[in-house]
Amino acid sequence: MERPIGIFDSGFGGLTVARALIDLMPAEDYVYIGDTGRYPYGSKPLDDVRGYASELAHSLVDDFNVKAIVVACNTATAAGLDHLRSELAVPIFDVVGPGASAVVRASRSGKVGVIGTVGTISSGAYVHAVESAATAHAVAAELSSAACPGFVEFVERGQLSGDEVMVLAERLLAPLAGAEIDTLLLGCTHYPFLARTIGEVMGPEVVLVSSADETAFAVRQRLTEMELLRASDEVGARRFLSSGDVEVFRELGSTLFGSDLVAAERWKR
């Protein structure tokens, strides 16, 4: 099956998911769109975000003929993906379900935390997802959440550490630091880039979990079941597109992602 897998996010955050997908399924072709021209999603009304997600997903199908879409953005998922699933004939994967499943399974005490954008946390998407995951795994889970406005902006500027990030992290994570959680889900695909600072604030007793690997395993399993996986020993092609400044995307993208991101193209709505 030669059609690519499509991935989108508001910007660079989805690259953490793209990395996990590429590492697990290197033979696949990938098309990644970072909507940097309209980021951040996290502080925007969820109706607007739903519209952006719809444009991106339709473009991946119509313009790039993708065989599956990975919505590598918690906020877009929190805004609701039902419309995409009913409009499009390709499987649509999200990061919220896999993330919730990963955090519930990783916790020993059942006291888990999630951090995300204002849009994601206020939507309650993780309250439902963690409840479902706890039921599915027959465990108890007590969830504490915190929105972290500002984190995404640091990542989009390429500022991944330093005093400013630390001061903000200490302030935003204070409610969770006192909640006795043993596991913290990074419920925004941008946050793994700040894992060092977040880990330092939370302390060594708290395990940080990202949804990237879990999502990649879910995608591989479903594509295998649907007989859509590409059987080849060759490494697939990767295309990276941005709705914002392409040169900025290429430069920061290659710093964050590595040498697979050598060129970026303009995504036009």
CB of 173 to ligand DGL, least distance (A): 17
- Report the amino acid identity of residue 5: I
Beta strands at 68-71 and 5-9: parallel, antiparallel or unpaired = parallel
CB of 152 to ligand DGL, least distance (A): 4
Query: Do the Cβ atoms of 108 and 50 come closer than 8 Å?
Result: no
Query: Do the Cβ atoms of 241 and 31 come closer than 8 Å?
Result: yes
CA distances from 61 to 91, 136, 252 (A): 11, 32, 27
Known catalytic residue at 148: no
How far apart are the C-alpha atoms of 184 and 170, rounded to whole Å? 15
- The residue from 188, 208, 241, 256 that is catalytic is 188
175: left (phi over 0), alpha (psi -120 to 50) or beta: alpha
- The residue from 25, 69, 73, 112 that is catalytic is 73
CB of 13 to ligand DGL, least distance (A): 3
Closer CB to ligand DGL, 74 or 107, in the complex: 74
Closer CB to ligand DGL, 10 or 197, in the complex: 10
Q: Which residues bind ligand DGL (CB under 6 A)?
A: 9-11, 13, 39-42, 73-75, 116-117, 120, 152, 188-190
Closer CB to ligand DGL, 32 or 39, in the complex: 39
Known catalytic residue at 188: yes
Closer CB to ligand DGL, 19 or 230, in the complex: 19
CB of 222 to ligand DGL, least distance (A): 21
Query: Do the Cβ atoms of 151 and 190 come closer than 8 Å?
Result: yes
Query: Do the Cβ atoms of 38 and 100 come closer than 8 Å?
Result: no
Q: Which residue numbers are catalytic?
A: 73, 188
